[in-house]
Amino acid sequence: MLRVVQNVVEFHGTFASYSCLDCYKIFRSSDVKLDIIPPLCGECGGVLKPNCIFFGESINPMVLQRTKEMIASCKVMLIAGSSLVVAPSSLIPFEAKSNDAKVIEINTEPTGITSSITDIFIKEKAGAAINKIIDIINKI
Ligand SMILES: [Zn+2]
């Protein structure tokens, strides 16, 4: 039986919630009306922004720190469905490898790390490959 581990860092944030740029109140996405763009805060009328990182924005320092902590103890890094071209997330596999982690990459095409630090390359769509992995684990 697959053991569910919920220790997730949303490195690039999430579309599951929005924040008001003026009063900082947080709203669930399901509560945000998108009939007016940009969506507006029901409390103060300020602009609501999804809690994800847009190009040019910095990664939340607390998220970056937690990611570094997780990399330090990582034994196996699974990379699935990423072109690995945008830093700093593209640097994460290198940090894991420098800490002796094994790198497993699932992508439809090789990336810049495939021939250098990837230990196992699975040429397949991420969702299909992960479902197969889950099936195998469930049989163990
Ligand atoms: Zn507001």
Q: Which of these, 8, 23, 125, lies nearest to 67 by C-alpha position?
A: 8
Q: What is the CATH number of the domain that holds 33?
A: 3.30.1600.10
Same domain, 123 and 76: yes
Q: Contact at 8 Å (CB) between 31 and 20?
A: no
Q: Structural domain tally of the chain?
A: 2
Q: If pLDDT is split at 50, 70 and 90, which confidence band does 137 have?
A: confident
- State the alpha helices, DSSP H only, in the chain: 61-72, 92-98, 126-139
- Whole-number Å distance, alpha carbon 24 to ligand 1 midpoint, is 6
Catalytic residue, chosen from 9, 12, 40, 95, is 12
In a domain, residue 8? The reply is: no
Residue 106's Cβ-count burial label (10 Å; 0-12, 13-18, 19+) is: buried
- Whole-number Å distance, alpha carbon 44 to ligand 1 midpoint, is 4
Same domain, 22 and 87: no
Q: What is the CA radius of gyration of the chain?
A: 18
CA dist., res. 3 & res. 6, Å (int): 10
- Whole-number Å distance, alpha carbon 48 to ligand 1 midpoint, is 8
In a domain, residue 41? The reply is: yes
- Whole-number Å distance, alpha carbon 54 to ligand 1 midpoint, is 20
pTM reported for the whole predicted model:
0.77
Q: If pLDDT is split at 50, 70 and 90, which confidence band does 5 have?
A: low
Checking if the pLDDT of 132 tops 90, the result is yes
Residue-wise pLDDT for 40-64, tens only, equals 999 999 999 999 999 899 999 999 9
- Tell me whether residue 24 is one of the annotated catalytic residues: no
In a domain, residue 38? The reply is: yes
Give the residue numbers spanning the domain of 47. 13-52
Q: What is the CATH number of the domain that holds 99?
A: 3.40.50.1220
